[in-house]
Structure 1
């Protein structure tokens, strides 16, 4: 069973790829999920990479096809990382904002039920760091 951090790393790579609009792993280079999210009344788009389903703002046919390609390529990406796609209990990302304010919130659960939620901002997607009450850096 892979560590949760390994699964989270794979999820971040997927989120960053879709967020950047340059989907090298799927051969599609003209995606703008943040633009579509910002243009929606909801202001965000949730993507479930395991099912290929979305929620929140509506997605264009082109973006829906790209998300489906990510779902199809996920088992191969997992294989390259020496994990099984079945090791994921959940792999969801919320995309929102636009321009310099773009963000994605990556939620991962492993098949044992352990979970991780990390927020990333910008492009490339960098983890948001906060200080706790003792002045230590903590991920949000």
Structure 2
């Protein structure tokens, strides 16, 4: 499966969690950004392959929700013609600032290509930056 397709699938799963409307998992009592604000790190990082929070102090409701997402991720991968085995890493870091909610999707595909892509808002959209000619363009994904 192509790297961009995998990134899109992980974005959709992260956007579901970030919106607080867990239609993918049937669990609707979650506030990842609220939990991030209450965490000492002011962020929550989720490993969607294992279904665990790896950074921050999540609420009980968020822990239950995150545990359901590996199945949803596998379903979306198979629906797109791939497999969850095409992903070696699928982590998302959620945080807020004074202006907006943010999340960064970090994925590693089966061939070892690893990228981090920034999104903002609800629903999550690619962060925009000005190019050298002053045009607004999507921020490129960082090779990490």
TM-score by length of 2: 0.89
Q: Which moved more, 1:8-17 or 1:55-64?
A: 55-64
Question: Which residues in structure 2 correspond to 1:23-102 (within 5 Å)?
Answer: 23-97=22-96, 100-102=99-101
CA positional deviation for 1:51: 1.0
Structure 2 unaligned regions, length at least 5: none
Query: What do the CA deviations read for 1:72-107 (whole angstroms, capped 9, x no partner)?
Result: 222112111111000001110000116852110001
Whole-angstrom CA distance in 2 between matches of 1:99 and 1:69: 30
Whole-angstrom CA distance in 1 between matches of 2:90 and 2:49: 6
Q: Give the conservation status (yes or no) of the 8 Å contact 2:74–2:83.
A: yes
**Segments ≥4 residues shifted beyond 6 Å:** none
TM-score by length of 1: 0.91
CA positional deviation for 1:57: 1.3
Q: CA RMSD in A?
A: 1.7
Secondary structure of 1:66's counterpart equals: helix
Q: Give the conservation status (yes or no) of the 8 Å contact 1:35–1:98.
A: no
Structure 1 unaligned regions, length at least 5: none
Whole-angstrom CA distance in 2 between matches of 1:99 and 1:126: 17
Count of residues paired in the alignment: 139
CA positional deviation for 1:138: 4.3
Q: Which moved more, 1:67-76 or 1:117-126?
A: 67-76
